[in-house]
Amino acid sequence: MDESRTYSITGRFDPPEEGLLAGESIVWTRRAGTGFWLIFFGFIIVIGGPAVLFGVIQELSSPLAFLFAILVAAGIIGEVALFIQTKRTRYYLTSERILEVRGANIIKEISLHHFAGKPIGQFLESRVTHRSNNRPIYTIRIYDPMSDEVFEIKGQDYNSTMAFERIGDVRECPYCNYDNTALSTLCRNCGAVL
């Protein structure tokens, strides 16, 4: 088999119908977590904006109140759009790549072969950002050594961090001795089932 594969930045990914490469399987998937600042500013704009607007209408002339109403409406629309965008975003870790997908469109992807045989600790950072129901909530940052892009996956659990810890591990094919990523189900060199 060919040593290199092309990974499309503008492709579509809607498994199982569309987007999986031959022999590729999904190891882990989660929706994007809603960040603290999105919730915080959403609360301020959606709850506080109309209350302040009501006070402004009572105290100021109508042109200023109208301008403020437009700003509040724009803030509410912006927050709702950002919330919908976050909820439509999904992350995938497959046996071949890491993907950020919005709707069914691939936004970012990194081939796992960029990490093969390298200590994953230099490319992966997971840290606890807060706790929910006495469980730690992690933000996972993955640095792609080939493109210098950084994936940031927020609002994840401990099992998510453990799935990414295996990325740099190598599994040798028993038939051709080719070094595949530990998550691979098929050998990239001879196609054998691992």
Domain of 77 in residue numbering reads as 36-85
Specify if 156 maps to a domain. Answer: yes
Q: What's the pLDDT score for residue 193?
A: 85
pLDDT band at 60 (very low <50, low <70, confident <90, very high): low
Specify if 128 maps to a domain. Answer: yes
pTM exceeding 0.85? no
Specify if 25 maps to a domain. Answer: no
Specify if 9 maps to a domain. Answer: no
Name the most confidently modeled range: 131-145, 157-171, 175-189.
131-145
Specify if 170 maps to a domain. Answer: yes
Name which residue leads in pLDDT, 59 or 27.
27
123 and 164 both lie in a single domain: yes
Specify if 13 maps to a domain. Answer: no
80 and 120 both lie in a single domain: no
pLDDT band at 31 (very low <50, low <70, confident <90, very high): confident
E strands, the chain, are 26-31, 89-94, 97-102, 105-111, 124-132, 135-143, 150-156, 170-172, 179-181
125 and 168 both lie in a single domain: yes
Mean pLDDT confidence for 22-34 = 82
**Cβ contacts of residue 96 below 8 Å, gap of 6+?**
5, 21, 23, 24, 111, 112, 113, 181, 183, 184
* Total domains in the fold of the chain: 2
Q: Is the pLDDT of residue 39 over 80?
A: no
Specify if 24 maps to a domain. Answer: no
